[in-house]
Amino acid sequence: MSLGEQFETILPAAQRGAGWALEALYRALAPAVVGYLRLQGAEDPEDLANEVFLGAFRGLASFTGGEEALRSWVFSIAHRRIIDERRRRARRVPVVSLDDVGAGAVYLSTGPGVEDQVLGALEEERLRRVCDRLAPDQRDVVLLRLLGDLSIEQTAAALGKRAGAVKALQHRGLESLRRILAEEISPKGVSG
Amino acid sequence: MSDLDDYANEMHKPRALDDRAVEAFFAGRSLPADEDLLGTFAQSVRAFSHQPAPTPRGELAAVLMDGLTIEKGDLPVTAVSNATGPRREASGLPKWRRPRMTALLSALITKLGALGLAAKAGLAIALTAAGVTAAGAAGALPGPVQNAVSHAVTDVSPFTFPTTANSHAVFGGKTATTAHNNHGVSGSTVSKAAKTQGSTEKANPTTGGSGSASQGSNGAPTNPGSQSSTGLNQANTTPAKGHAPTSVPTPTNPGSQSGSHPTGAPTGSGSTNSGSTNSGSTNSGSTNSGSANSGSANPGSGARP
């Protein structure tokens, strides 16, 4: 969701700490950020998104640039947060609580239509599974470009890579994606 | 070889994506018909951006409700109270060093308290000796003590500390320079200054003697008596000889006698008087023979036009 011309009014107010302006930025950016964190495999995407926006809002006073630059900046923060979470997760022993088993049910209970929620949950699970099969670098590039709507240069800046490397990664990522999606429809050994 | 000879899998192997297809994928434009799987995937992923934002929780909810108080980072404006500089308590050691310094001091006090009686006495003696040596190096000790410390240090080390004789030589040198520059000095003024210096040093006869001896090495006569006559004779050889006294009376008070000399009297005669008188006495004024030396060491300069 883009703020368009409103951005020129909202940003200065948000930089002064006005709640209404911060909320407008949150409403515009949070869905894509939460989606990015979800498909990157965050344990609690919404909680992590809260941390991302708190960090972004606290540093907003020193930000300069337009809406695209702000979007790129927020996704850079989100990417660093998910990297941190992966490192934390790698250091601790995985524990599955009984509450987590029913997480899908909790998710379903918050939406309007149960059928749509079921389909949505299944689709999200499928997308996440596909993304999991991508190489991490390829997944970062594909998701930042698709969900963050970042350019090659912005993606390169967010990942700390050169633009040429991002271009190569997105190419290989799409090739891998095409192969993975094809295998989902006709798994190996079944076609013939 | 015809297409019929190919394996089935090779026949359906997709061609590589070109740059245009890749850009269309990421830009949300329509893809070639055989890439519908990729197109569907891109739409499904982008659908996340169109979902409603999740309800903010905890601290973020409070921030969105009440606004954010900017406490950190660059402030848009500088507060007036800070415009002229930091607050007073900003001076001194940095905060991270204050506890360290306090800990060091407390540890030092604890260690001192734990020392034995002999160790404490030794430490006190060492500190006193260091203090006396430092004062001696600065020439700030009383005359006899200064000389004793100076000799002790000279004997046991390659260093030389100032003695009272050094100060006499300096005094005489200053008087000679003044006489040279002003074409004469006031005998009473020199006498008073010499008396003042002598009394402050609380010199004994031995000290005064050493002062005269050291000045003698600077070219001045070592015998105060001959020094006196030399000053008068030298004064009489100058163009100002008409103002020079013909004889030298024996004063009972050097200060009052010096004051009786005319201001325009040649330096040689004035300083000769003080020198001859003081050198003969055992008073601290004897150390003022330095002023007489200065006159006799450079007698012509005082009377030079």
pLDDT at B272 over 70: no
Where do the H-state alpha helices sit in chain A?
Answer: 7-15, 19-39, 45-58, 67-91, 98-101, 103-109, 114-133, 136-146, 152-159, 163-185
pLDDT of residue A180: 92
Q: What percent of chain A has a predicted confidence (pLDDT) above 70?
A: 86
Q: ipTM of this model? A: 0.82
pLDDT of residue B123: 77
Nearest CB among B38, B50, B54 relative to A30 is that of: B54
Give the CATH number, domain containing residue A44: 1.10.1740.10
Residues A103 and A120 grouped into a single domain: yes
Residues A60 and A147 grouped into a single domain: no
pLDDT at A162 over 90: yes
Give the CATH number, domain containing residue A187: 1.10.10.10
pLDDT at A74 over 90: yes
Q: What confidence category does residue A15 fall into, taking pLDDT thresholds of 50, 70 and 90?
A: very high
Looking at residues A161-173, what average pLDDT do you find? 94
- Which residues from chain B sit within 8 angstroms of residue A170, using beta carbons? 22, 26
Average pLDDT of chain B to the nearest whole number: 63
Backbone angles phi, psi at B154, to 5 degrees: -65, -35
Q: What confidence category does residue B237 fall into, taking pLDDT thresholds of 50, 70 and 90?
A: confident
pLDDT of residue A34: 95
Residues A68 and A145 grouped into a single domain: no
pLDDT at A128 over 60: yes
The answer for residues whose C-beta is within 8 angstroms of residue B305's C-beta and 6 or more apart is B183, B239, B240
Looking at residues B8-20, what average pLDDT do you find? 65
Distance (Å, whole) CA B211 – CA B273: 18
pLDDT at B26 over 80: yes
- For chain A, the maximum distance between any two Cα atoms, rounded to a whole number of angstroms, is 64
Distance (Å, whole) CA A158 – CA A167: 14
Q: Do B76 and A16 touch (CB under 8 A)?
A: yes
pLDDT of residue B7: 53
Report the domain count for chain A: 3
Looking at residues B203-209, what average pLDDT do you find? 44
- Which residues from chain B sit within 8 angstroms of residue A36, using beta carbons? 48
- Give the domain extent around A128: 96-133
Looking at residues B31-53, what average pLDDT do you find? 85
pLDDT at A84 over 50: yes
pLDDT per residue as tens digits for the range B74-97: 444 544 444 454 455 555 666 666
Q: Do B22 and A174 touch (CB under 8 A)?
A: yes
Looking at residues B156-168, what average pLDDT do you find? 67
Residues A51 and A90 grouped into a single domain: yes
Put simply, whether the predicted model's pTM sits higher than 0.80 gets the answer: no
pLDDT of residue A40: 93
Interface of B with A (CB under 8 A): 8, 14, 16-17, 19, 22, 25-26, 35, 37-38, 41-42, 44-46, 48-54, 56-60, 63-70, 72-76
Among the listed ranges A18-32, B41-55, B79-93, B276-290, which one has the minimum average pLDDT value?
B276-290
The answer for residues whose C-beta is within 8 angstroms of residue B193's C-beta and 6 or more apart is B171, B291
Average pLDDT of chain A to the nearest whole number: 86
Q: What confidence category does residue A154 fall into, taking pLDDT thresholds of 50, 70 and 90?
A: very high
Looking at residues A10-25, what average pLDDT do you find? 93
Asked which of A72, A94, A116 is the last residue of a domain, the reply is A94
pLDDT of residue A98: 60
B256/A126: higher pLDDT: A126
Do residues B182 and B190 make contact, with C-beta atoms less than 8 angstroms apart?
no
Torsion sign across C-alpha atoms B254, B255, B260, B264: positive
Residues A9 and A85 grouped into a single domain: yes
pLDDT of residue B165: 61
DSSP string, B84-104: T---GGGSSS-TTTHHHHHHH
Residues A89 and A112 grouped into a single domain: no
- DSSP structure class, residue B55: P
Q: Which residue has the tokens 């018909």?
A: B33
Q: Do B45 and A146 touch (CB under 8 A)?
A: yes
Residues A76 and A122 grouped into a single domain: no
Asked which of A79, A94, A109 is the last residue of a domain, the reply is A94
Residues A69 and A29 grouped into a single domain: yes
Looking at residues A104-119, what average pLDDT do you find? 62
B50/A138: higher pLDDT: A138
- For chain B, the maximum distance between any two Cα atoms, rounded to a whole number of angstroms, is 150
pLDDT at A136 over 70: yes
Q: How many CA atoms lie within 13 A of B261 on its CB side?
A: 33
Q: Which residue of A has its CA nearest to B38?
A: A178
Contacts across the A-B interface (CB distance below 8 Å)? 119
Q: Do A130 and B41 touch (CB under 8 A)?
A: yes
Greatest mean pLDDT range, A101-115, B23-37, B129-143? B23-37
Do residues B73 and A59 make contact, with C-beta atoms less than 8 angstroms apart?
yes
pLDDT at B112 over 90: no
Asked which of A94, A125, A151 is the last residue of a domain, the reply is A94
Q: What confidence category does residue A146 fall into, taking pLDDT thresholds of 50, 70 and 90?
A: very high
Looking at residues A69-91, what average pLDDT do you find? 92
